[in-house]
Structure 1
Amino acid sequence: MKFSKILVLFLIATTSVIYAQDKKVTLEEIWNGDFRQERLQSLQSLANGKEYLVLNRNNGNASIDVYSYKTGEQTGTLVNSADLEEISTFQSFQLSEKEDKVLLSTELESIYRRSSRAVYYIYDLEDKTLSKLSDNKVQEPTFSPDASKVAYVHENNIFIYEIASGEVTQVTKDGVTNKIINGVTDWVYEEEFAFVRAFQWNETGEKIAFMRFDETEVPEFSMDLFGKSLYPSEYTFKYPKAGEANSFVSLHMYDVGSEETEEVDLGDYEDFYIPRIKWTEDPMILSVQVLNRHQNDLDLIFVDAEDNEAEVVMNETDEAYIDITDNLTFLEDNSFIWTSEKDGYNHIYLYDEDGELINQVTDGDWEVTNYYGFDKKNNRIFYQSTENGSVNRDVYSIKPNGKSKKRLTERTGMNSADFSADFTYFINSYTSTSTPYVFTLHRAKDGKLIRKIKDNSALLEKEKAYNFSPKELSTIEVNGNELNMWMIKPADFDENKEYPLLMFQYSGPGSQEVSNSYFNTNDYWYQLLADKGYIIAAVDGRGTGFKGADFKKVTYKELGKYEVEDQISAAKLLGSRDYIDADNIGIWGWSYGGFMSSNALLKGNDTFSMAIAVAPVISWRFYDSIYTERYMRTPQENPSGYDENSPINHVEKLKGDYLLIHGGGDDNVHLQNTMRMVEALIQANKQFDWAIYPDKNHGIYGGNTRLHLYTMMTNFITEHLKTQEVKEKSENEL
């Protein structure tokens, strides 16, 4: 009797396991975040290098808590909104250099991708008092080095608030919306040079260097936003498209004591950019990077803040373009560390204070992919690289003379590091195709593991019920190059069957979609499609990154030529495999990827039968000056490069099924792109499908938007890329 009960229980348990392993993922689960990986909260190292800060939220309150690197235990709290009468919570914080005061943001309001404005409060950590910075919502408040003052931007002007007295000094007075900007960047600088705050205190607090943007000649772009009011509103902003007038940018030096401002004469430049300013180790020497409009000639300039004299200390040129980074560190004697692609791969270089090369620090047919900084105490540089293959990343340290290199990470995959302020520790983030994020603490001098912090074992356990297919990494030889590829097959894959193929790509210059990393959100959607009988693949073609400058820059002046050729050739090669239905190959992409998928369907109309383009650039003539001209020069100089590879000029080639999607409030890739494509298709009498998401920006999200979008795309794919089972069912019905 007992044996029978045990047998029955065993059979029930076995049946449950088998049933659980047949569970199919749904779009609702994906976009509800059921498979979201656990990450570490954003942390900030304290100057002691032994502790870090985390912004925590609990029951509507916000607190800045202190934790030990070594133990992970909480050691204190800097401030808790529950203890403050004036505010109920705050969204972000900024610590002063001396760690004696903190700025707290409230009523935070996003502007563009990186910019925001908010009402800020200053909390004194010593006397526990809270004071309001301004009644206005302001941008980029920044403590002076001694934390006696805060500089900020309001309505395109710079102000200085003296904390002790409450006195406010207005530094600039000519700021006007859509005309003059002081101290923060214009739209195109923010988007393409990736920074917002365009002012910096020097170390003594005597000077503020700032940039001024004159947008007067920049053409305006306007968008209708429909909202919920009776009448739509119009949003207008300055947006320089390729070949059009940019802001005129100038550099200025403000003397805090005399309250006087002087423009810095940088030299004889025309139509140029200032992508970076940074004070050196000498508190009166400011470094300024000046880049020509073609973005292939860069001067590093030292400005003496006492007499505002400027001197070029280093120049770098490239036949194509120079990528701007934050990889600049000044040593005590004002020698400096710099990264460059000048030997064909991105590497680290050491220069003296006069800009003369001391030595190349790293060398080899691989790329430095992240520069973490310099530990002056131990005389070591920390960086991340592709030395273990372009789909992998490892963390290393090396001396400035290029000797004593140490690999600090052990597991093959994608490793990245977050170092403590004094480079005693680093938190390693690790992932691979089989491992979601794992976070561990290591000793920086040798990489020794100190403690495990967090992993995603619970996610892996949950995924067992779904029997997900692995993401298979490989290479494919296309047009004389070994290209990286991943592929996801159905869990019940049968090599004797034929499967439709959906390809995904982005393909923008220097990008990467194929890496040794775990599933992202789209990958779970690909699992859903694999469950329905699809094979999904991605190929990083020419123009993508981390395989050397020549591989990346081959697309210069010809965006959409070689990248499209590689996607078409890859699709043909994959279609020749016995298990792929060559008549049923689709491609999709977003932004640059939408530009690519549109071109692939049109130029490869004998290869692709379906494409989805989300928020695509349809003509590079419609996109911004900095990004586009970096890779294409201007339309006036390179008209054929712009037009021959623009999907809008190939609409007559459309044979397959095409779905075009855009957000109506996209300030980045404007809806103009899709509307012009729609009109061209209509005039060519080509049938297609399209959808506009009202007021949504380039990310097309909010509420149920992503669920709706991916439901629509799933339905389009299943309708137009027929699986073998669907084909057979249709034939039987006939």
Structure 2
Amino acid sequence: MDIASGKKEKITSMTGSNDVSLAPNEKYIAVLHSYSNKPWELYLQPTKAGAKPQQITFKAQSNEFKSYPWRDPEVITFTASDGAKVYTRVYKPTNPHPNKPAVLFVHGAGYLQNAHKWWSSYFREYMFNNLLADNGYYVMDIDYRGSAGYGRDWRTGIYRHMGGKDLSDHVDAVKYMVDNYGINPNHVGLYGGSYGGFMALMAMFTKPDVFSAGAALRPVTDWANYNHGYTSNILNEPYADSLAYYRSSPIYFAKGLKGDLLICHGMVDVNVHFQDAVKLSQRLIELGKDSWELAGYPMEDHAFTEPSSWTDEYKRIFKLFERVLKK
């Protein structure tokens, strides 16, 4: 922008995310750029309108990575049952399976944003979603209620009820896929880690007629066990708002399980403690449920570090969906 006239000129033109640093002489900008299917790389560009950026690093894309046609997921919106507009990424299969199965990936953190056009921090899930689409699944990844970037009302939409509007957004996403892509409503699964794992449990326990299979990875099962600084901002405190904790904790709704559930949890998790998975396992045993399994990872924390653990986890998720959603 020219300070004297106020006239603005657009300098950057690459779609996606552009993290810009200005050179001391102000003649060049360095742009750290990524796109939905292209990892972060560094570009150099003169600071004048119409100048073309020149890519100067190529470290992120190996020949093996470039040999695969990574999908550019479409970012669309659908209308939730309460009239809210929900943003989502969509991965469409080139050859849909005859049973028209679908999977929802539920991002973690609660407050995070993932329906965008740059390289996701969930790059493993991005690649897994491509694998699912290759095998005939429709996949959606929504910025449900509570996600970042959509204003105060969106962020506070889960106040005193996690697994409320954030879950109904996923139910509405299934309806959208049924109406627009013709997916089979009896062949829908979901998976996610941390908050996404919690959401997978709430979906399987409280919406068992919508979701036939779910993979809950490192999930919170009882919010009274979790980080006070995070949870108290949303649910207040257990002694002061026991109703909020009750209706937001999956362990109290485990009786509703009908479909097939996979739980994966690192045994040295210092974020969501392994005790959550143990407590839920005992509850499922007491209820006589037999359509679930727990995979414990003895050497893993909240975010896995060993490639063998990641491989094992995603093989289990894929086998679950193949067995349940395509039958």
Q: Partner amino acid for 2:103? A: L
5 Å-filtered alignment, 1:462-501, equals 465-479=67-81, 480-493=83-96, 497-501=98-102
Aligned to 2:317: 713
CA deviations over 1:583-631 (Å, ceiling 9, x no partner)? 0000111001000111011111110001100101112111111111122
CA distance in 2, matches of 1:720, 1:544: 29
1:491 Cα deviation (Å)? Answer: 2.7
**Correspondence 1:516 to 2:117:** yes
CA distance in 1, matches of 2:180, 2:153: 30
Aligned to 1:254: none
CA deviations over 1:646-675 (Å, ceiling 9, x no partner)? 110101110000011110100111011111
Q: Partner amino acid for 1:694? A: P
1:644 to 247, 268, 283: 247
Aligned to 1:691: 295
Aligned to 1:580: 183
Q: Partner amino acid for 1:697? A: D
CA distance in 2, matches of 1:517, 1:565: 26
5 Å-filtered alignment, 1:392-407, equals 407=10
CA distance in 2, matches of 1:412, 1:443: 18
C-alpha change, 1:469 and 1:410, in structure 2 (3 Å) is: closer
CA distance in 2, matches of 1:435, 1:615: 28
> Any conservation in 2 of the 1:467–1:491 contact (CA below 8 Å)?
no
CA distance in 1, matches of 2:14, 2:285: 53
The structure richer in helix per residue is 2
**Correspondence 1:680 to 2:296:** no
Q: Partner amino acid for 1:563? A: D
Q: Which runs of 5+ in 1 are unaligned?
A: 1-396, 728-734
CA distance in 2, matches of 1:561, 1:422: 52
5 Å-filtered alignment, 1:615-654, equals 615-654=218-257
> Any conservation in 1 of the 2:147–2:155 contact (CA below 8 Å)?
yes
> Any conservation in 1 of the 2:37–2:71 contact (CA below 8 Å)?
no
CA distance in 1, matches of 2:262, 2:24: 49
CA distance in 2, matches of 1:600, 1:406: 48
C-alpha change, 1:684 and 1:407, in structure 2 (3 Å) is: farther
Aligned to 1:504: 105
> Any conservation in 2 of the 1:510–1:545 contact (CA below 8 Å)?
yes
**Correspondence 1:660 to 2:290:** no
> Any conservation in 1 of the 2:99–2:187 contact (CA below 8 Å)?
no
SS in 2 for 1:484: strand
C-alpha change, 1:441 and 1:659, in structure 2 (3 Å) is: same
C-alpha change, 1:447 and 1:417, in structure 2 (3 Å) is: farther
Aligned length: 321
The structure richer in strand per residue is 1
Q: Partner amino acid for 1:693? A: Y
Q: Which runs of 5+ in 2 are unaligned?
A: none
SS in 2 for 1:607: coil
5 Å-filtered alignment, 1:270-419, equals 407-419=10-22
1:528 Cα deviation (Å)? Answer: 2.0
**Correspondence 1:556 to 2:159:** yes
C-alpha change, 1:555 and 1:451, in structure 2 (3 Å) is: same
CA distance in 1, matches of 2:50, 2:205: 51
Q: CA RMSD in A?
A: 2.8
2:213 to 610, 626, 633: 610
Higher relative CO (Cα under 8 Å, sequence separation at least 6) belongs to 2
CA deviations over 1:188-219 (Å, ceiling 9, x no partner)? xxxxxxxxxxxxxxxxxxxxxxxxxxxxxxxx
5 Å-filtered alignment, 1:14-413, equals 407-413=10-16
> Any conservation in 2 of the 1:507–1:540 contact (CA below 8 Å)?
no
C-alpha change, 1:547 and 1:669, in structure 2 (3 Å) is: same
Q: Partner amino acid for 2:325? A: L
> Any conservation in 1 of the 2:161–2:244 contact (CA below 8 Å)?
yes
1:470 Cα deviation (Å)? Answer: 3.7
